[in-house]
Every structure is written in C-alpha cells, then in structure tokens.
Amino acid sequence: MRLRIGDRKTSKDMTMKYKTFALSVLALAASSVAFAQSSGPQVTLYGIVDANVQVLDGASTLTRVQSGGLQGSRFGVRGNEDLGGGLKAFFTLESGINLDDGTYGQNAFWGRQAFVGLGTPYGTVSLGRQYGSIYTLTNEFSQFSNVGTGASTAVIGGFGSYEPVRGSNGSATGNGGPARVNNSVKVESVNYGGFTAGALWGMGEVAGGTKGNRIADVYGRYTGHGVDAMLSVVEDKADALGQNLRTVSAAAAYDWGNYRFNGGVIQVDDRTAADRDGKGYWLGASYRMGQHLVKGQYVESKNDGALADGKTQAFGVGYQYDLSKRTALYSSVTRFKNEGVGYVGRATGTIPVGLTTANDRNLTEFVTGIRHSF
C-alpha cells in the first residue's frame, strides 16, 4: 500500500527518525567535547593570598601588615598538553604579590617563575626563570619555609651580602639567583625507585664569558618509607663581578605518624680573596592533630671567613588552624639573637632602620595571619 505525504503514520515515522538523528548528533557532540577536554590542553589559574600582622620588638617596636606568612602570596597560570607517545608540553607563569600594598614581588611581573618545557618518559627539560635547588631544599625541608616570618631558613645568608636562600642581585644571572635563576635550562629525571636527579645551567649572557658568568646547579633527592632527603651543589660564578662561590646544602625530613622532624645544613665557600665564607643549619619538628598544627624550629647563620665574626640565632614556635583545605589561620613567636662585632643583624626580613641599635640588636617577633589558596 502506498502512503501519502500527509499520512499520519508516515509523519510519526519521520518525526521519530528526526528525533533519533538529533539525539545521535547531540550524543556524538557531547562525546567529542569530553574527549577534547580529557586529551586537549589543560590550563589552570591558581594563587595564594596570605597576609599577617607582624610586631617586631627590639630597641624600639614596629607593628605592620606584611604579605606572605605561611607562603608567599602569588597568582599564576600553568598548563600542559598531552602530545602522545609519552611526550607532554607544559608551562608555568607565576607572579609574586605584595598583598600589603598591591605591588608585585621579585622585581619582575612574572618574578616567581616563568618557564616552558617538555616532558618525556625519561624526564623533563625546561627553559626560563626557574627555582634553583637551594630554594626547593630550604622551602620544603623547613617548618617555617623560607618566607618572611618565624624561625625561617631565610635567616641563613648575609655572607658579605651574598644571599643563597633569599636570592641576591649580585648573582651571576641577577635578580634573585641562585634561589631563582634567570636564563636557565633545567633537566630532571623521572622517579626511579624514589630517586630523582637534576641539573640546571643559568647563563650570565656576557659576551665572551659563557663559562665565567653562570650558575651551575646539580641535585639529587630520595623520597620513600617516611624519609625525604635532598643534596644540592651550586656554583655561582660571575667574573664580571669578581665573584666565585660554591654552596653545598643537604636536608632531610622524617614523618612518623602525626610527627614530622626536619633539619638541614648550608655551607658557602667563597673562592676569591674576599673570603666571604658562611654556614648555617636548622632543626625543626611539628605535630598535627586534625585541624591543629604545632611546630617549632631553631636556625643559625654564621659568618665563617675573613669577614668580622657574627652569628644570628632564631628560635620560633608556631600554631596553625586549618579552617578548610584552602584556608588557614596561623601565628608564631620568634626570638632573634644577633651577635658579633661588625655583624649585620638579621631577621627573616630586612630590619627597618631604628628598630635595632649597636648595643641592642636582638628582636622578638609576633605574627598572626590568614592564608587562602585557590
């Protein structure tokens, strides 16, 4: 029997076919979008906002709002793309923020990190402005990290104005080396049974002075069975500045239930006539009970060369309460003791003029603040 166009049965059949076709197209489109999302480029915007009230009490007293108590405030963009065959492209652009006044940190807009790289089945290679191994070692193996509060590993340094932890503009690559290294190429292995190793070369970019103006950084790390340990050797050579320094660092941490124990040492060897040798070490421990974290750390930094003898000791205790996975309240109290004739007094940040005197160089620091990450 022949059906006419206007036949109800024919209309219903065609309507059902169109509906089925439309649903199939939508399902195919949805699956294509899901595939694209899972295998295409992945880009993440992230950041940390951290501010505190700090009271410094020495020969006089200063109260101020500071940025970065638990971690340095920042915002960044990172991304990666699966290229297939075990290859992956990745990048990070990260800007430091001074939350107290809204300016950017590290003397550059993308001053914390700015690099692009390629991952392979054997490891990664990346180019740009990157963390040196000293930054990682003094940050991840310290109770108070290397930020500006508490008994921080940032106390270590000041050896003739050379700052291996905070970073020195007098470094071979300038602007914060050897903690952050400009013009650098980094190669790092994959994890082999808990072991990783890496090397970084920072180019001073001085014509005719490739070997005489550079940072050479090699490191190794083992993580497993509750133990985390790292060794770092860094040479910071700038013939143009008459500088040739080698810094050897080692640190370890051990997790035992809710307890964490950590320690580390740094030795700076100045191989020029200036003899700006220095050394430092730190010991710390913490205990976590649910949302509560209690910690303490002792840090010592000492001139050890031709410079006038001097030493800074810092002992601090801190408390952190996690309101959520992203938000925490924190506080600490630290005593800084500065000794030695001619030694520049130190704390975890630059000491404001008038806060200490020649006869009263010790400081007590109180901090209370909040950190939120996104």
* Structure tokens that stand for 230 in this block: 């790292």
**First-to-last CA distance in the chain?**
68
- Asked whether the whole model's pTM tops 0.95, one would answer no
Residues β-bridged to residue 181: 130
pLDDT digit string, tens, across residues 341-367: 655 568 877 788 889 888 888 999 999
As a whole number of angstroms, the distance between CA 208 and CA 213 comes to: 9
CB 101 within 8 A of CB 93: no
pLDDT at 344: 59
As a whole number of angstroms, the distance between CA 340 and CA 325 comes to: 44
pLDDT digit string, tens, across residues 12-41: 454 444 444 444 444 434 443 443 344 578
* Structure tokens that stand for 23 in this block: 């649903």
As a whole number of angstroms, the distance between CA 65 and CA 369 comes to: 9
* Structure tokens that stand for 255 in this block: 């997790």
Higher pLDDT, 112 or 303: 112
Give Cα 366 distance to the centre of its chain. 24
pLDDT at 141: 98
pLDDT at 343: 56
Give Cα 223 distance to the centre of its chain. 18
* In the chain, where the domains are located: 51-373
As a whole number of angstroms, the distance between CA 351 and CA 218 comes to: 33
Residue with tokens 């800074």: 312
Average pLDDT over residues 180-207: 97
Nearest to 293, CA basis, from 318, 320, 317, 316: 320
CB 286 within 8 A of CB 306: no
Number of continuous H segments (helices) and E segments (strands) in the chain = 2, 18
Residue % of the chain over a pLDDT of 90: 74
Which CATH class for the 51-373 domain?
mainly beta
